[in-house]
Structure 1
């Protein structure tokens, strides 16, 4: 068995330190989410490369559920590789310095929307296997340890379809195209989060 890399110092600047700080300070909404949070934190403390796609078989990713200004619809992407409707998100990149920044970048790039108002804290964690992310060498299946945020779009915002998507479309929050339990929970948690918005409409 290959020994694990030396853990990164928790005070190290950069994306890894931000992820560790963000998740240790986060209050999970359910017991299951608390278990996942502990799993993510342990992985970050064990692997200095946990934020990179080169960390196998598991690495952290960042994503964003985009809500319409009136909170009645969600903007989802029909993922080109998975062939399913998801929130926007993906791997962290070299220029990312915070989890929230990575989530916002992914949402902006994949939706074409400017002026998204991102909530300051995650709303959901989701660990799931990703067959198309490897393994190229026949090793264990890659798992994304996704950290999910919520953002609110500006009224009359116009979206676009990126190269990573087959389609991008608004869906009613109660009529999702792929209503699996994970996505349904994400929408519910996002709506709860934005119901606590400040007077300016920023997610809480």
Structure 2
């Protein structure tokens, strides 16, 4: 998915979730900035992540993020790569050790604009996170990366209890539960 395909997908992207719909225009505007795919754009930049589910759509794979100390989907910075689908797949493999990931569809699954707190040498800034739906086998061994404290498969029933209140994760969970995508 190159920048132009991404722009076209954003033009066509519709969501019934008000909080997600509010920032689609922000994503579209950001695609015009050549620095948007680099973390050096301190006001905010694109990231890509994967909502990884098992084939039966009963579990999702989450990481306990080392820097943020929260359970999240796997993903990371584009670092200049304008193919955000490729970034999401690469990050998912690097952060989980999974080699047999399957992209469910070549469409945006979810969008989220969220603030990243200030850290030493990095000011507070926005991540414009583009999410893709991936499928994996729960029996494939996991390998924790340096970016994680832990990795675990969570049943859909237990996700809300594990993450606390995180509307974007709850939204992806709801989208997966309602998904019309063929199993």
Band the TM-score falls in, shorter-chain normalisation? 0.7 to 0.9
- Which consecutive residues of structure 1, in runs of 5 or more, have no partner in the other structure? 1-13
SS at match of 2:29: helix
For 1:50-199, what aligned pairs fall within 5 Å after superposition? Answer: 50-94=36-80, 96-118=81-103, 119-132=105-118, 134=119, 136=121, 141-154=124-137, 156-176=139-159, 177-180=162-165, 181-193=167-179, 195-197=180-182
Query: Is contact 1:115–1:153 with CA below 8 Å preserved after alignment?
Result: yes
The structure, 1 or 2, with the larger RCO (C-alpha pairs under 8 Å, 6+ apart) is 2
Q: What is the Cα deviation at residue 150 of structure 1?
A: 1.2
Cα distance per residue 1:66-118 (max 9 Å; x no partner): 11122111110000100110000010134x35211111111111111111111
Query: Is contact 1:53–1:59 with CA below 8 Å preserved after alignment?
Result: yes
For residue 15 of structure 2, what is the aligned residue in structure 1? 28
Aligned length, in residue pairs: 179
Query: Is contact 1:116–1:153 with CA below 8 Å preserved after alignment?
Result: yes
SS at match of 1:189: helix
SS at match of 2:23: helix
SS at match of 2:8: helix
Task: Quote the Cα distance in structure 1 between the aligned partners of 2:78 and 2:176.
Answer: 22
Query: Is contact 2:95–2:144 with CA below 8 Å preserved after alignment?
Result: yes
Task: Quote the Cα distance in structure 2 between the aligned partners of 1:151 and 1:103.
Answer: 9
CA RMSD of aligned residues (A): 2.1
Query: Is contact 1:123–1:190 with CA below 8 Å preserved after alignment?
Result: no
Query: Is contact 1:18–1:99 with CA below 8 Å preserved after alignment?
Result: no
Say yes or no: does 1:38 pair with 2:25. Answer: yes
Query: Is contact 1:16–1:50 with CA below 8 Å preserved after alignment?
Result: no
Query: Is contact 2:138–2:153 with CA below 8 Å preserved after alignment?
Result: no
Task: Quote the Cα distance in structure 2 between the aligned partners of 1:125 and 1:79.
Answer: 19
> Highest CA radius of gyration, 1 or 2?
1
- Which consecutive residues of structure 2, in runs of 5 or more, have no partner in the other structure? none
Q: What is the Cα deviation at residue 175 of structure 1?
A: 0.8
Task: Please list every run of at least 4 consecutive aligned residues from structure 1 whose deviation after the TM superposition is greater than 4 angstroms.
Answer: none
Task: Quote the Cα distance in structure 1 between the aligned partners of 2:148 and 2:17.
Answer: 31
- TM-score when normalising by structure 1: 0.79
User: Structure 2 vs 1, CA of residues 97 and 51 (structure 1 numbering), >3 Å: closer, same or farther?
Assistant: closer
Q: What is the Cα deviation at residue 135 of structure 1?
A: 7.2
